[in-house]
Structure 1
Amino acid sequence: MEKLANNSIKETKNPIQLFLKLLLLLLFTTQSFAQETSFEDGKKYILGGLTVTGLQSYNEQTVVTYTGLRVGQPITIPGDEISAVIKKLWSLELFSNVDMFYTKIEGDKIFLELNITERPTLSKVTVFGVKKRKVEDIINDTDLKKGKKITESLIANTKNYLQNKYKKQGYLNAKVTIATAADTTGTNTQSMVVNVKKGDKVKIRDIVFEGNEKLSDKRLAKSLKNTKKKKLYRFWKKSKYIEDDYKEDLSSLVDAYAERGYRDARILSDTFVKVNDKNIDLKITVEEGDKYYFGDINFVGNSVYTDRQLSQVLGIRKGATYNGVLLKERIADDSKPDGQDLTNLYQNNGYLFSSINPVEVSAVNDTINFEIRIIEGKETFLNHVTVTGNDKTNDHVVFRELRTRPGQRYSKDNIVRSIRELGQLGFFDAEQIVPDIINPDPNAGTVDINYSLVEAGSSQIELQGGFGGGGFIGTLGLSFSNFSLKNIFNGEAYKPVPMGDGQTMALRLQASRTFRVYSLNFSEPWLGGKKPVRFNLSLSRTQQFATSFDDRGRIDRDPDRGFSITGISTGLAKRVQWPDDYFTISHSLSYQLYQFDDFNNGLFNFGNGSSNSLSYTLGISRSSQGPNRIFPLSGSNFEVTAKFTPPYSLFRGKDFKQIREDIDEATDRLFEIGPNSTSPSEQIEFVELSDELERLEEERFKLLEFYKIKFKGDWYTQLVGKLVLRTNAELGFLGSYNNDIGDVPFERFFVGGDGLGNFTLDGRDIIQLRGYENSSLTPFSTNPITGNQERDGGTIYNKFSLELRYPLTLKPSASIYALSFLEAGNAFNNFNEYNPFELKRSAGVGIRIFMPAFGLLGIDFGYGFDSDATPGAVGPNGWETHFIIGQQF
């Protein structure tokens, strides 16, 4: 058997194999000389046959086919064909050795043998030194999957990747070792063990600055946002050393000088000194240079805007301290898509292809003169506007929210607004809405825009269970916020329900042994499909049953005694253009029928009969928060509503003054007798007066008349990064037209707790104020019939809160953010008792999780600094835990 030495030796990498091949070549040369057989360079043969040896897992015919060699083809030996085959096989990285031999020569035919050594296959990976939940991520990141061929480069790359990964996290002493061993469970397989020793995170013991005279060490240390030295009190910013963050902070340090006029400041050197395995010192040497000032700033090339207009936007005056960072931001603020800068000024008015460059034209002593050189370019118009990624949502639902239309003048502001509107729909992942500017044509002055969208879950299921209202409360709710009513009879559209037209359909059932609540809501945001006019229809039915306790102390329900509310409401809300197009004016009309059947538990003033409420609500709101409706970064939301009923007392023909006097007289007498009187005559009188009082109360509230004014405002301020401050203020007032009728027992304000209305029966508003029990800040009154202290709701309240929010993740599958809060508020019986500074205060922390299928979930831990409204309560209320389920954003 003869080896094709040239190619074999050339492709052999193992030094031992190379020595053996050279020895074999020497023997072969001696033998061939003795037999007087010569192997001429470049001789042509016909390939008589090709066999493959050394295979363990591959099919011989597959390898032969891959070589491209065919029996009967002419072949030159030695020649390029054999060299190309070997290189081709090596490139697969499937083999650790490739040799080509000839076995015999018959005339002009040559027979070859291809001997290969397969690389072992990875059978399993075991990772030590990391948490179990991190192992899968490591395997995926390094591609150490079963069936992977084990090569030297795979091992080296894996080792380097992991060591660099942990060094970036502050583990500068991280070491990774990788070992392989034969696995007898498979053919030519090996198992791999990855041992990670992260060691301790290397902390920064001290940061030393040298060469600084103009700026203090403290000021320079503050400019290093992500690189901090160890301090006992610092827990919000770690002191670990991360190289990428450190390099970025060095640029921030130079910017700190540039902001104060030292444009020539630079870092001469930066080093770190290893103190021990856990600590290092950083040493930064700077050269500050001289302080400079702005001189003349002239605009060149501008024709669309005057020098004065551009100067007003630039906002930099001659003689001001030189600030290179500010100048850059006023030219183009990359951190704010809607920033007030010169670039946005042009791009918001059609000049997409404009360019603006500040140029230092001269420096006299400490004064720098600038030219702002502007190339305005051609006015740009939109050619095509397209959307992609809306697999469920119909195109017309997306396009009607866009502020960009074909033929319009290009405006960056309109693109930013379109992103906000799409994010507010809730149908798409707000973090992944990308406007792609495509096919720009500076000569024609046209551009195309494509909005790339990622669908997010828009349907929710609400499942709740808890105790309240005298027993276990179960809730089932289904909400479809991208519903399609027109396809409700189209069987093929049920996936699982008809979707895509942006409508809202919500069904909710809440029940316990003592009450039931059913509701159906439908909303169409674009009634008629032409303008943003929202139509809303709501139906509801509430039943509350009378209860008592049996001999064992268990709650017993009486189905023949109870209270019910049947309600219907409809409304229209229109987005208007003045004062700006963030405003909405809404109108709604609602009717509620309250029915009592031998039901008097202190919530209301009578236990038999009915009340009717027909009301009109006018609302004015302005909503500009965004772009993500779950976690707004900026903007605000204001809402003022006024709810009115007709003043029935003007034309009912009733003497309500006399009715009120009779009620007061009966009430005083009932308090005088008391429900526990032992006198038979007083007991009879008490029952008669109770019946008379209920009759008078029903007469007074047969037709409810009231007005209700509410205000709520939320401001969102982005502080640093995605740290957001939410500021909230609320106020509500319930009034009456006729003092003789007084305030209605419905529609009142109940303050305190988690803000969730578990079983609101009477149109009440549940106001969140964490750190206190639910409704515990609501005033009490004494029921003259039962003698019990009852929370009957306040007629006026105010509340203020500050909430710091920080997102942990904003992925479509689950958005999570942490928060801390300060709150203060209170409720009062009437306006005469109202004191806006008599507030109940609280503070705490919490977390929110939004999952598309279940809505908003969360938990808060709040501490109440004051006593609640319970008679006799003193001292701070203390800690309360609040579970948040399905609350509004």
Structure 2
Amino acid sequence: MKRLLFATLLTFGFTSHLLQAQDIELTDPTTLTPAEYQIMEVTVEGNKNTREQFIKNASTLVEGSSITYPGGDKLTRAISRLYRSGLFSDIKIFVTDRTSTGISFLIKVEEQARILEYKLKGIKRSERRDLEDLLVLTPGTVITESAIGQAKNTIRRFYEDKGYWYTEIETSTKEVEGVEDRVRLIFDIKPGERLEVKDIVFKGADEFKDRKLRRQIKPLKEDAWWKIFGKKVFKEEEFEEGKESVLTFYRENGFTDARILKDSVYTYEHDGLFKDKTGLKVVVTIEEGPQYKVRDITWDGNTVYSNETLTQVLGFEKGDIFNQNKFEENYSFGESSVSSLYQNNGYLFFQAVPNVTKVAEDSLDIHFDIYEDEIANIRHVSFSGNTRTHDDVVRRTLRTTPGNRYSRDAVIRTIRELGTLGFFDPQNIQPDILPNREDKTVDINYRLDDSQSTSNFEFSGGYGGPSIGVILSARVNFNNFSLKRAFEDGGWTPIPSGDGQKLSLGVQVTGTGYQSYSFGFQEPWFKGKPTSVGVNVSYNLLNYRGSTERNELFSSSVSMGKRLKWPDDYFSTQSIIGYQLYNIEGNSSFLADGTSSLLTFEQVLERNSVDNPISPMTGSKFTLSFEAAPPLPGFSEYYKLTSAYQHHVPIVEKLVLTSQVQYGYIGYFTDDKRSELNKFLVGGTQLQQRQSFLYDNIDLRGYPGGTTTSISPIVDGQKVAGTMYSKYSLEMRYPAVSNEQVQIIPYVFTDAGNSYLDFNDFDPFRVKRSAGLGVRLYLPVLGLVDLSYGYRLDGVTVPNSADVQPGNWEFLFNIGAPF
């Protein structure tokens, strides 16, 4: 059929997102009467990257369907749909043929440009790199208004998170020579002004001052002249978190109806140092409501525990201000809650349904309906994820045993015990509790993660001063060793592991003549029982170049440890039998030349409830040790008593406060066989003090170690070791980074300690003090590395040399766990 080129039907265009229809151009439009036609044919022109069938389908102009022409809205909707696809910048529809019953159309499109690349202008290189990681603009895709709008929103959010307000973004496209249908998309960015929060105002807050509420709205912070570290910028997510923290604070103080009516953030002019500046003001309007107190507490349905016991566990008395968070913690979630009380006694299916009723204007009645149900027994216990650790090692650690009644405490204790093994990531130990209400049983599965290596290689170096020189130390620790697999074919892959045994090999040398070699092995479960057996052998030699002084020590020991069930199962005991052979030649210190042998017996009693050996969050550790070298023929003698206590308390979130106290005393059975060996020196770190192997070295940050510069008594103008020591430490730390690859734990500390000549000289409050900061780094390969920078508040006298002056900083480096 002859094409009617003169009969252009419709031309549509978008201006400001409004569809406008052009006049229909016919030979005589007034002669046409709207009629219904059948679409005979639809053709497409102008499409280069878009399939023709896609355009037809999107237009809904389907061959064989009917359409009213002229008039109707089917053509208008067709163009609207095509525009909404975002693929075209111009769309026209023409009538190409028309009979008395049929009509044909031509859809002519002009495609949107596609991205060759995009450029970010007007910003710093570092910001450009960060934005490139956030923007999703793939080369070859169509440049649509939606894609550009999304990119702009991403850029604005990026700068809002940095505190920039009124960020302006202009976009443009630029054709690239030699590249058809591809353009360069350019974002011209003006980040605007970085504004700080200068004022936070609370309206409607009558019970608490703004200053107190500002402390609660953290992490949002208000700027002040003394806050010199970091910009106090506004971030939406911090604001939302802060508002919830304010409401939590109100609920903890009895205002359970408190709510935020509205909030606003706006810019305003404030006085600057030299001129007026623009800052942000945050206004929060609060409706406090009444402060509620507890009027009455009642229980119904309880037969196992009395009302008095349950009320005591709940932690509220009549007349107390109602703390909603404490209430929820004490009846349901906490380790000492009402739910825990029942579940620790087997009542897994227990339920406590609270009903808090408001009476009068400011009082609450609390009623609990208790559904105790029956005791649940453990049917099956399993574990998974231990790819490197043998099942027996995990199974012997479990505190939940099939056949026993369920205990929530036992599950928590199992998680703690598995975490302290050091073989599994404590954060990834997850118990799956699978109860079966019909037969009153429960299955427990522990999901473990031992993907990270527990073995590590420690290598360190340092400088111990002119008299010591360069210190080099290396140690390899296999913390999940398997002696059995070491003798099996294919057991070395690359290290025989999986039985939880510990094997360590170490060497330390210095440039001035110190050497140390050590070997240690420990079996934590001897013959399938919770009895540990260990063997340690070491050799130390100190022979400075150009000096007649030569000190040697051969040391060996056998130990046996056992868990105790009384007073509780956190207690353990360890018995150690040791032999030391000393050879001292040309010693310039207080020690006499010659050989000395010691046969020692040591008994250690310990209670350890810390939850993590590297960075404890909770728990305590108490150690009491008595060591004796009896006056046997041919042997030297002494007896030694030491005690140490540490306590870990979480302050807020992950911030932990640790306090430590240590005391020690060495005495003698007789006078004729006593020596200066194994007395106390204080100062430095264990890494430095290993060269002073003739003494018992107590580490103290901020002070150097060694026989000449350590904290110790002076007799006749010469340094000697003390028979008593005291040490105190206070540390606050925060695990800033904690993942499988690395742990970074910064801390601040204060240390104090001293070494005393005898009882007459002992004064627990006459100590050398220091304060400072440090960081612990835990790497699976290197183990725990401790770096501290301590400021000395007191000096140390050094006979015949320069004293260790107060008011100076001391950097110390150590390897090994501090607790």
**Coarse TM-score class (shorter-chain normalised):** 0.7 to 0.9
Report the secondary structure of 2:243's partner residue: helix
User: Aligned equivalents of 2:138 and 2:455: distance in 1?
Assistant: 37
Q: 1:634 aligns with which of 618, 621, 636?
A: 618
CA shift in 2, pair 1:423/1:190, >3 Å: farther
Q: Is the 8 A contact 1:733 1:797 kept in 2?
A: yes
Alignment-derived partner of residue 240 in structure 2:
247
User: Aligned equivalents of 1:502 and 1:148: distance in 2?
Assistant: 56
Residue 274 in structure 1 maps to residue 206 in structure 2: no
Report the secondary structure of 1:332's partner residue: helix
Alignment-derived partner of residue 809 in structure 1:
737
Unpaired runs of 5+ residues, structure 2, are 4-8, 29-35, 67-78, 98-103, 270-276
Q: CA deviation at 1:770?
A: 1.9
Q: 1:646 aligns with which of 630, 637, 653?
A: 630
Q: CA deviation at 1:278?
A: 4.5
Count the aligned residue pairs: 783
Q: Is the 8 A contact 1:710 1:733 kept in 2?
A: yes
Deviations 1:209-255, CA, capped at 9 Å, x for gaps: 33344333444334334344333334689743333333333344344
User: Aligned equivalents of 1:738 and 1:719: distance in 2?
Assistant: 49
Alignment-derived partner of residue 583 in structure 1:
571
Q: CA deviation at 1:289?
A: 3.7
Report the secondary structure of 1:548's partner residue: coil
Q: CA deviation at 1:388?
A: 3.2
Residue 402 in structure 1 maps to residue 395 in structure 2: no
Alignment-derived partner of residue 202 in structure 2:
209
Alignment-derived partner of residue 887 in structure 1:
816
User: Aligned equivalents of 2:503 and 2:586: distance in 1?
Assistant: 35
CA shift in 2, pair 1:223/1:780, >3 Å: closer
Amino acid at match of 2:739: K
- TM-score (ref. length: structure 1): 0.76
Alignment-derived partner of residue 706 in structure 1:
638
User: Aligned equivalents of 2:447 and 2:183: distance in 1?
Assistant: 45
Pairing 1:370-519 to 2, within 5 Å after superposition? 370-437=366-433, 439-454=434-449, 455-468=451-464, 470-490=468-488, 492-513=490-511, 514-519=513-518
Q: CA deviation at 1:724?
A: 0.8
User: Aligned equivalents of 2:771 and 2:2: distance in 1?
Assistant: 88
User: Aligned equivalents of 2:606 and 2:426: distance in 1?
Assistant: 23
Report the secondary structure of 2:383's partner residue: strand
Deviations 1:512-534, CA, capped at 9 Å, x for gaps: 34122111111222222x33222
User: Aligned equivalents of 1:51 and 1:253: distance in 2?
Assistant: 62
Q: CA deviation at 1:826?
A: 0.6
CA shift in 2, pair 1:93/1:584, >3 Å: farther
Pairing 1:187-266 to 2, within 5 Å after superposition? 198-234=191-227, 239-266=232-259
Residue 319 in structure 1 maps to residue 319 in structure 2: yes
Deviations 1:341-382, CA, capped at 9 Å, x for gaps: 222223333333433332234514543322122333454344
CA shift in 2, pair 1:177/1:882, >3 Å: farther
User: Aligned equivalents of 1:476 and 1:537: distance in 2?
Assistant: 20
Q: Is the 8 A contact 1:621 1:640 kept in 2?
A: yes
Amino acid at match of 2:770: S
Q: Identity of aligned pairs, percent?
A: 31
Amino acid at match of 1:442: R
Alignment-derived partner of residue 533 in structure 1:
531
Alignment-derived partner of residue 850 in structure 1:
778
Deviations 1:640-677, CA, capped at 9 Å, x for gaps: 111111222xxx4xxxxxxxxxxxxxxxxxxxxxxxxx
Unpaired runs of 5+ residues, structure 1, are 4-8, 31-38, 70-74, 81-85, 105-109, 550-557, 653-701, 784-788
CA shift in 2, pair 1:328/1:141, >3 Å: same
Report the secondary structure of 1:632's partner residue: coil
Alignment-derived partner of residue 542 in structure 1:
540
**Higher mean Cα deviation, 184-193 or 580-589?**
184-193
**Higher mean Cα deviation, 819-828 or 340-349?**
340-349
CA shift in 2, pair 1:737/1:145, >3 Å: farther
Decide which structure has greater helix share: 1
Q: 2:608 aligns with which of 623, 633, 645?
A: 623
CA shift in 2, pair 1:209/1:713, >3 Å: same
Report the secondary structure of 1:474's partner residue: strand
Amino acid at match of 2:332: A
Q: 2:727 aligns with which of 799, 821, 833?
A: 799
CA shift in 2, pair 1:261/1:123, >3 Å: closer
Report the secondary structure of 2:615's partner residue: coil
Amino acid at match of 2:605: I
**Higher mean Cα deviation, 868-877 or 721-730?**
868-877
CA shift in 2, pair 1:801/1:470, >3 Å: closer
Report the secondary structure of 1:547's partner residue: coil
Report the secondary structure of 2:213's partner residue: helix
User: Aligned equivalents of 1:66 and 1:613: distance in 2?
Assistant: 93
Report the secondary structure of 1:508's partner residue: strand
Q: Is the 8 A contact 1:377 1:442 kept in 2?
A: no
User: Aligned equivalents of 2:129 and 2:421: distance in 1?
Assistant: 35
The CA RMSD over aligned residues, in Å, is 4.7
User: Aligned equivalents of 2:121 and 2:346: distance in 1?
Assistant: 57
CA shift in 2, pair 1:838/1:436, >3 Å: same
Report the secondary structure of 1:311's partner residue: helix
User: Aligned equivalents of 1:13 and 1:488: distance in 2?
Assistant: 81
Q: 1:726 aligns with which of 649, 658, 664?
A: 658
Alignment-derived partner of residue 861 in structure 1:
789
CA shift in 2, pair 1:409/1:779, >3 Å: same
Report the secondary structure of 2:735's partner residue: strand
Q: Is the 8 A contact 1:228 1:238 kept in 2?
A: no
Amino acid at match of 2:226: Y
Amino acid at match of 1:734: I
User: Aligned equivalents of 2:197 and 2:144: distance in 1?
Assistant: 38
Deviations 1:841-865, CA, capped at 9 Å, x for gaps: 1111112211111122242221111
CA shift in 2, pair 1:356/1:165, >3 Å: farther
Q: Is the 8 A contact 2:681 2:755 kept in 1?
A: yes
Q: Is the 8 A contact 1:478 1:506 kept in 2?
A: yes
Report the secondary structure of 2:201's partner residue: strand
Q: Is the 8 A contact 1:209 1:285 kept in 2?
A: yes
